[in-house]
Amino acid sequence: MSLPQISYVIPLYNENKAFPFLIDRLNEVMNKSDIDIEVVLVDDGSKDTTADLMQQLALQDQRYQCVFLSRNYGHQIALSAGLSVVNATEAVMVMDGDLQDPPELFFDFYNYYKQGYDVVYAIRKKRKESILKKAAYSIFYRMLKKISYIEIPIDSGDFSLMSRRVVDILNKMPEESRYIRGMRSWVGFKQIGIEYERRGRTADESKYSISMLFRLAFNGIFNFSEFPIRFITRMGLVAITLSLIYLAITIIKKAVWGTVPEGFTALLFAIILFSGVQLISLGVIGEYVLRIFHQVKSRPLFIIKDQIINKQYVQRKERSSSSLP
């Protein structure tokens, strides 16, 4: 069998309500186009019937491939798992399973790909979410853009088409706390954003809890910005400067009016000065800890429990893990 030109990667967590709609829309896209497309569905340890639905489908329809993860790893890792098994020769389409991202946008993306773009990402023009959530997203993306050391486009999520070579590079990036839209920007190449209107969810509520959203946001900040740690150092510098100014003022006061109680001033000065020094030291240590932290973890990102490849069910077989020290 020849390899498909395009792979869709779709992570799913408890999406049994949206599933039939999703598959309808995907079938429509595949039937309409003469491009050879496969769909890689990733079950991120769903607790509902999502995995069963996936299995039923993929055992009948060769265009669907399935990956079942050993537990719930979270959206970004599930996405990475999907990216690691795609067969696409040309490009990979990354999409959510709740139909907030219209699968038909692929045709527009693909046109840009054909024009030589390695990454075509979607920019959300409008969001159908609550005002509070919209405001939080908007503030976060703008802040991240300000403090990040790479150019991360505003209001773009993971919904995108990436060329095979970009996906190969992402697959080789070993970082554990993954922020795919940031890594995608980091890779470089020719990239372009297209505006689209993000729908509300078709079925069900969001599978991202508030704490998961925060974790994602933190991954964005701490993986792509050195601002927080540099901020500590700067605070230390400010504290030291203030203490020196205070010292100068007291000395002048003492010389002119002779009114300053001595012991108290010295104490205050020492406290402020050394708090400044401590903050700077923390910042410097933090710099090293951060780098070690990012480097040292070399756990596998995810564990694939089972897979369905070309209608064949493949179970993970491993009696003992010999790689542990």
Among 16, 65, 100, 163, binds Mg ion (CB under 5 A): 100
Among 21, 140, 208, 269, binds ligand UDP (CB under 6 A): 208
Least distance between ligand UDP and beta carbon 154 (Å): 16
Kind plus residue range of the DSSP H or E element containing 132 = helix 131-147
C-alpha count within 13 angstroms, C-beta hemisphere, residue 211: 0
Among 28, 38, 210, 21, CA closest to 98: 21
Binding of ligand UDP by 82 (CB under 6 A): no
In whole angstroms, give the CA distance from residue 61 to residue 197. 31
Kind plus residue range of the DSSP H or E element containing 129 = none
Which residues ranging from 14 to 43 are in contact with ligand UDP (CB under 6 A)?
A: 15
Among 96, 117, 160, 179, binds ligand UDP (CB under 6 A): 96
| Stretch of 92-100, 117-125, 226-234, 308-316 contacting ligand UDP, by CB under 6 A | 92-100
Binding of ligand UDP by 101 (CB under 6 A): no
Among 99, 106, 111, CA closest to 32: 106
DSSP code per residue over 201-213: PSSS--S--HHHH
Least distance between Mg ion and beta carbon 153 (Å): 19
| Stretch of 70-78, 105-113, 138-146, 189-197 contacting ligand UDP, by CB under 6 A | 70-78
Among 13, 112, 113, 224, binds ligand UDP (CB under 6 A): 13
| Stretch of 92-100, 115-123, 167-175, 192-200 contacting Mg ion, by CB under 5 A | 92-100
Collect all residues with Cβ–Cβ distance below 8 Å to 89 and sequence separation of at least 6: 3, 4, 5, 164
Nearer to Mg ion, 44 or 98 (CB): 98
- Distance (Å) of CA 177 to CA 69, 76, 300: 17, 9, 12
Q: How many CB atoms lie within 10 A of CB 77?
A: 20
Residue 140 binds which of ligand UDP, Mg ion, none (CB < 5-8 A, kind-dependent): none
| Residues lying near Mg ion in the complex (CB under 5 A) | 96, 98, 100
| Residues lying near ligand UDP in the complex (CB under 6 A) | 11-13, 15, 44, 72, 74-75, 78, 96-98, 100, 206-208
